[in-house]
A and B are shown apart, each in its own frame.
Chain A
Amino acid sequence: MKYLSHIFNHLRKDLRLEWRSRDAINGMLFFALLVVVVFALAFDPTGFPTTTRQISGGILWVALLFASVTALNQSWTRELRNQVLEAHRMAPAPASALFLGKAIANLLFVLVVEAVLTPIFIIFFNLQVLGNAWLFALILPLGTWAIVVNGTFFAALGLRARNRELLLPLILLPVSLPALLMMVQASTGVLTGELDSIQIRTWITQLAGYDIIYTTVCILLFETVLNAE
């Protein structure tokens, strides 16, 4: 129970800090919007509804992935000021509680961005979901967690590195590739209605499995990374 209260305290801290400045959410939102607009210039969404449905899943997750990367780095840099990171290291609370609190905070920020982005997507691409749209309530959080949990971990890993901003996407993208495949295939399956429910369910289950595996690995290895010096 104490562990959960630690996580909750870290979460509250990050939410409060973000609420006061709203840097990350604004930055992410605008970035994702720009990606959507650029892709809309690349093909004609109105003229080719079938093609639009087939690639919208991919565009959505690419936009979210790049938007998350811009926010993840600065979620840790706020810990560098005032030697807060040293304080975290010296505190007796388990380091993984800090990690989970921050990862959940990042998850909430990206979910807020998704909530705003989804209607914009539908409007700009004239999307009509042919499958069961309620599945997105499952796909979006699971997919976002896959990006955020690894992203938060690797952002902490590269915290003292030079070229920190460049390093995060270079490490994050290869490791996230299977999760990206799963979330894009599941999203496209729901949008186009071409996959039957068993296949979509398999993708979602694989995504959940990926989430569980990598959450465990990140929790186990975070202490090592925090105390790398």
Chain B
Amino acid sequence: MSRSSTVRNVAWLWFIATVAVLIVGFRQAIFLVPTEETMGNLQRIFYYHLPHAILGLIFPYVNVAASLAFLYWRRRDPLKALTADALAAASAEVTVLFVSIGLFSGMLWAKPAWGIWWAWDARLTTFLLLWLLYVSYLLVRRFSPAGQTGTLSAVLSVFAAIDVPIVYMSIQWWRTQHPAPVFGPNGGGVDARLLPAVFWNLAGWAMWGIFVMLFRFALERRRQLAEQEAALQAIEASLETPQ
């Protein structure tokens, strides 16, 4: 089966559009948007940090949905299940990417702005736990025996989905008992004059995330199809040998 040229053209167009949006967002964030009063130019990392943090919370949902679809189709329609598994793998990797960047950029921002690298409040701890859960998901995918990868990682994905809200609530309760520094702007929303930078960067990084995820998905599908071809050839070869 051949990748149609329409898909390839759409992919190229999307990529060029993504780069264009990211360039506009960069210009907005660094040059056009007014400087924030308390933190000065340091605050501009926020336009990089916020999209990654938000998107790091959205891609896990794609992974959970794909994992549930895999578990549903596993016995009913194995080919659809394979596609769901490929999407789960791709979205998990993109999740780890975005959450890592969110954590790292947050720490870089926090130290000069608030004097501490890290705080164990509900939001940050849940974010770190999300990273730990999805890294363990990728490890399960790597270490699992062939043929079981989809099922085992889908089950872990369900556990991860249940764990994240529980962690958030338990640490929230812990922090109402023992208040600790809370990171990030906890006041009202963002000033209206800063919004263009936020929106352009959010859109740009979302488009980038979708592009990378679908690229990885296509790679995984190709690998699966190559595997199926090889298996089919092996079966046919074994049928030809005289019994």
Q: How far is the CA of A202 from the CA of B139 in the complex (A)?
A: 35
Contacts of B148 in A (CB 8 A): 160, 228-229
CB <8 Å contact, B145 and A161 = yes
Selected from A160, A195, A221, the residue in CB contact (under 8 A) with B145 is: A160
A80 within 8 A of B: no
Take A195-B177, A217-B158, A225-B152 as given contacts and tell me if A174 and B145 are in contact as well, using a CB distance cutoff of 8 Å: no
Which of B139, B152, B155, B158 is close to A170, meaning CB atoms less than 8 Å apart?
B139
Asked if A21 is an interface residue, CB under 8 A from chain B, the answer is no
Select which of B129, B144, B155 is within 8 A of A177 by beta carbon: B129
Is B160 part of the contact surface with A, judged by Cβ < 8 Å?
yes
CB pair B136–A174 under 8 Å, yes or no, is: yes
Cβ-Cβ contact count across A and B, 8 Å cutoff: 83
B163 to chain A, nearest CB (A): 5
> Chain A's nearest CB lies how many Å from the CB of B70?
11
Verify if A26 is at the interface (C-beta below 8 Å from B): no
Q: Are B133 and A175 in contact (CB under 8 A)?
A: yes
Tell me if B159 and A175 are in contact (CB < 8 A): yes
- Contact of B170 (CB < 8 Å), options: A167, A181, A217: A181
- Is A83 located at the chain interface by the 8 A CB criterion? no
Contact A178 B143 (CB under 8 A): no
Interface string of A163-181 (1 = CB under 8 A from B): 1101100110111011001
* Alpha-carbon distance between A206 and B167 when the two chains are bound, in angstroms: 11
Tell me the chain A residues, 144-170 only, with Cβ under 8 Å from chain B.
Answer: 150, 157-158, 160-164, 166-167, 170
Q: Which of B145, B156, B166 contacts A171 (CB 8 A)?
A: B156
Give the interface centre of A162, A178, A210, A221 by most chain B CB atoms within 10 Å: A178
Q: How would you classify the secondary structure of chain A's contact residues: helix, strand, loop or mixed?
A: helix
> Is there a chain B Cβ closer than 8 Å to A115's Cβ?
no
The answer to the question of A224 belonging to the interface, with a C-beta cut-off of 8 Å to chain B, is: yes
Residues of A within 8 A of B105 (CB): none
B82 to chain A, nearest CB (A): 15
Q: Is B177's CB under 8 angstroms from A228's CB?
A: no
B139-A167 in contact (CB<8A): yes
Binary interface profile of B, 122-139, with partner A (CB < 8 Å = 1, else 0)?
Answer: 000000010011001001
A163 to B143: give the CA distance in the assembly, Å: 7
- CB of B143 within 8 A of CB of A224, answer no
Contacts known (A174-B129, A175-B133, A175-B160); A157 close to B170, Cβ less than 8 A: no
Taking a contact as CB atoms under 8 Å apart, the answer to whether A202 and B136 are in contact is no
A177 vs B145: C-alpha distance when bound (angstroms): 27
Could you tell me if B143 and A174 are in contact, using CB atoms closer than 8 angstroms? no
Question: Does residue A77 face the partner (Cβ distance < 8 Å to B)?
Answer: no
Name the contact of B173 in the complex, choosing from A163, A206, A214, A228 (C-beta under 8 A): A206
Whether B140 pairs with A178 at a CB distance below 8 angstroms is no
Docked complex Cα distance between A225 and B140 (Å): 13
B173: which A residues are within 8 A, CB to CB?
202, 206
CB-CB under 8 A from A177, the residues of chain B are 129, 132, 163, 167
Q: Is A192 an interface residue (CB 8 A)?
A: no
Q: Assess whether A213 is in contact with B152, with CB atoms less than 8 Å apart.
A: no
* Residues on B with beta carbons closer than 8 Å to the beta carbon of A202: 173
A-B contact pairs, 25 of them (CB 8 A): A158-B144, A158-B152, A160-B144, A160-B145, A160-B148, A161-B144, A161-B145, A162-B143, A174-B132, A174-B160, A174-B163, A175-B163, A177-B167, A178-B170, A181-B170, A181-B174, A199-B177, A210-B166, A213-B166, A224-B71, A225-B152, A225-B155, A228-B147, A229-B147, A229-B148
Ranked nearest first, the 7 interchain pairs of A and B with the lowest CB-CB distance are A174-B132, A228-B151, A228-B148, A161-B143, A178-B170, A160-B145, A178-B167
B residues adjacent to A (C-beta < 8 A): 71, 129, 132-133, 136, 139-140, 143-145, 147-148, 151-152, 155-156, 158-160, 162-163, 166-167, 170-171, 173-174, 177
Residues of A within 8 A of B (CB): 150, 157-158, 160-164, 166-167, 170-171, 173-175, 177-178, 181-182, 185, 195, 199, 202, 206, 210, 213-214, 217, 221, 224-225, 228-229
